[in-house]
Amino acid sequence: MKLSTTEREIIESSIRDIKDFPKPGIVFKDITTLLNNKEAFGVLMNHLYLKYKDYDLDYVAGIDARGFIFGAALAQMLGIGFVPIRKKGKLPYTTISQKYSLEYGFDEIEIHIDAFGLNGGAKVLLVDDLIATGGTAIAAAELINQAGAKCVEACFIIGLSFLDGQRKLQDITTVYSLVEIN
């Protein structure tokens, strides 16, 4: 399911570019302007609901922190549970974790050990706002699978296709980005 031309224009026009943030040469895609635009946010969430309503999902997992916004809203619309994937040290119960590479070092994300139930085999949609180099998203998909669930697809509002993240993540799961930036 693809966005219509009108839907794409509504969503794209609601995302603000911030030049030289967080450092010179970077153009940051600011989704706060999408969130506070009720029409754009409604179009986005309705599109995601229609796309995923027949996937027979058990959970939506969102990556810390902007993935929480879209993921939790979508999980509620689909009538299923939401699982937060957090940065290390933020969850209060027993966790499992996955390390991933950054430009200058490593980071780590984690979920509760029982996030997807104890029986295994849960079908999970991974959601975040943007995929760039893919390190966090790949670690999140691997973490979902490590927890005994199946990451059936990874969904991003924005995909930076001039970077390798989406291609690398496709080795683990199907990837869907609403807005592609070349």
- Mean pLDDT over 27-43 rounds to 97
- Structure tokens, 124: 């999970």
Out of 12, 66, 108, 142, which one is annotated catalytic? 66
- Which residue has tokens 């943030």? 21
Q: Does domain 55-181 have CATH number 3.40.50.2020?
A: yes
CA 172, CA 152: separation in Å to the nearest integer?
A: 9
Which of 105, 98, 83, 104 lies closest to 137 in space, CA to CA? 98
66 annotated active-site: yes
Half-sphere exposure of 174 (CA within 13 A, CB side): 8
Out of 103, 153, 167, 180, which one is annotated catalytic? 103
pLDDT tens digits along 44-93: 999 999 999 999 999 999 999 999 999 999 999 999 999 999 999 999 99
Q: Is the pLDDT of residue 9 over 90?
A: yes
Question: What is the reported pTM?
Answer: 0.96
153 annotated active-site: no
pLDDT score recorded for residue 1: 80
Q: Is the pLDDT of residue 19 over 80?
A: yes
Q: Is the pLDDT of residue 5 over 80?
A: yes
